[in-house]
Amino acid sequence: MLLIHVMRRVIRYGTVSLIDESGKRHQISRFGKPEVVLRLTDDSIAKRLVFATSMGWCEAYMDGKLLIEEGTLNGFLEAWGRSEKILAKTWFGEFFRLFYSFTAAVEHYNPIGRSRRNVAHHYDLSTELYDLFLDSDRQYSCAYYPKGNEDIETAQLLKKRHIAAKLDIKPGMTVLDIGSGWGGMAIYLAKNFDCRVIGVTLSQEQYRASRRRVEEAKLERKVSFELQDYRTLTEPVDRIVSVGMLEHVGQHQYGQFFSKVSELLKPGGVALIHTIARMEKPQPVGAWIRKYIFPGGYLPSISQLARAWERHRLWVTDVENLRLHYSKTLIQWYQRFSKNRQKIAKIYDERFCRMWEMYLVASEVAFRVGNITVLQIQLSHKTVALPITRDYMLEAEQELAFKDSMVSSSRPKRKARKATEVELEEI
């Protein structure tokens, strides 16, 4: 009964019912659509959840002690997420934000050694896992949906094209990819532009895969990858691209990151930073995410980023807010993950599957109803480094679209399947 009392204070949105071990059903009804019925499998977990934050609830789901009896995990997390937004506007919410920020600050200190360990925790998992839910190019960041109904393969190609257009690469330039992942962006730039691309990563698995892909594509003269921290780089470059890496830098290192970007960019250089960002006051990501998914991870607020690049006198030449694009990306990742769930369980186990379900669904809800988004920030030393209107981006995208169509027309045809609206609602 104490747990129900606590839930009535916390749940401010939707209808959430809880079935205890005796089979008794307790219902909490608020405004809003999600209707979810939860079941606890033993009394011990109920006692723990009385004093638990989101960490305890997420771990209970991972361990199979909290079951979704009716409705979906998405519905429960939406009710929870919207409730947190309502509570955040109260004095208690502001107090908790400040206390949470203070206690978690030490985890965001990311010297080189810790950065390597944090990266290995997530990115050195089985490559087969990522093949089972990402697109064929292993793009593990927000895709781009100009029409809104693209399949994941198309949307990730459009993301690469969109970023490439913003870089305004000229023949003979050198491009640095900070946090190069499995090499897809670097290889795409090398194939479409007369340029040299250098990619750096801290992941052993990603490094090996990237090197292998370059050899297979016979691009050794145009693309190179290094297992190296960006802070150790010294060679000046014409362009810098960084996709989905800034989230791992940590709030105490933003000055260091933009200092290095400023140092490495040639006088007429351009950088394009693609990152998740928080649209409200600074605060840490959830403790569960930091413990199980992204150790050391931190989502910056715009004010934190602005202070950092201002100190190094970098011009902000363009900013785009992608808003709901990551929600759409995560929906398609979750669908692929669910389709291949049995295969993933054989690689790891049931608890791992439930952990990643929680991660993917919670992230989708956060981008759809929470306070996080994706920004593409373009920076330069000079106001004259780029054309004075955005027309050049559209022209470059159209040219790249033509090149991509020529490449795809030479391949065997395969009809891409798009998710239906019903399927998008099912998670």
Q: What is the pLDDT of residue 416?
A: 44
Higher pLDDT, 282 or 316: 316
**In Å, how far are 183, 189, 281, 284 from 21, measured between CA atoms?**
50, 57, 40, 34
- Band (4; pLDDT cuts 50, 70, 90): confident
Higher pLDDT, 55 or 377: 377
Place of tokens 């389709």: 339
CA dihedral sign of residues 111, 113, 118, 120: positive
- Band (427; pLDDT cuts 50, 70, 90): very low
Q: What is the pLDDT of residue 100?
A: 59
Range scoring the smallest mean pLDDT among 9-13, 273-277, 337-341: 9-13
pLDDT at 413 over 60: no
Q: What is the pLDDT of residue 103?
A: 58
Question: What confidence tens digit (pLDDT) does each residue in 331-374 have?
Answer: 999 999 999 999 999 999 999 999 999 999 999 999 999 899 99
Q: What is the pLDDT of residue 421?
A: 43
Domain ranges of the chain: 2-89, 112-426
> DSSP class of residue 249?
T
Question: What confidence tens digit (pLDDT) does each residue in 136-185 have?
Answer: 999 999 999 999 999 999 999 999 999 999 999 999 999 999 999 999 99
Q: What is the pLDDT of residue 71?
A: 94
- Band (287; pLDDT cuts 50, 70, 90): confident
Q: What is the pLDDT of residue 101?
A: 63
Q: Name the residue among 401, 373, 423, 420 with its Cα closest to residue 149.
A: 420
Amino acid identity, residue 32? G
Range scoring the smallest mean pLDDT among 11-20, 27-36, 189-198: 27-36
Q: Which CATH class is domain 112-426?
A: alpha beta
Query: Mapping DSSP to helix (H, G, I), strand (E, B) and coil, where does residue 162 land?
Result: helix
Provide DSSP, 355-398. HHHHHHHHHHHHHHHSSEEEEEEEEES-GGGS-SSTHHHHHHHH
Q: Please list, in sequence order, all residues whose beta carbon lies within 8 angstroms of the beta carbon of residue 393, skipping any fewer than 6 positions away.
A: 165, 166, 168
Question: What confidence tens digit (pLDDT) does each residue in 86-109 have?
Answer: 777 776 667 666 655 665 566 666
For the chain, helix (H) and strand (E) counts, in that order, are 18, 11
Q: What is the pLDDT of residue 42?
A: 78
Q: What is the pLDDT of residue 31?
A: 82
CA distance 125 to 245: 17
Amino acid identity, residue 349? D
pTM (two decimals): 0.89
CA distance 234 to 103: 35
Range scoring the smallest mean pLDDT among 55-64, 91-100, 418-427: 418-427
Question: What confidence tens digit (pLDDT) does each residue in 76-89 have?
Answer: 999 988 888 777 77
Q: What is the pLDDT of residue 212?
A: 96
H helical segments located in 11-72 = 43-50, 54-62
Question: What confidence tens digit (pLDDT) does each residue in 214-273 have?
Answer: 999 999 999 999 999 999 999 999 999 999 999 999 888 899 999 999 999 999 999 999
Question: What confidence tens digit (pLDDT) does each residue in 293-340 have?
Answer: 988 888 999 999 999 999 999 999 999 999 999 999 999 999 999 999
Measured from the Cβ of residue 334, the count of other Cβ atoms closer than 10 Å reads: 23
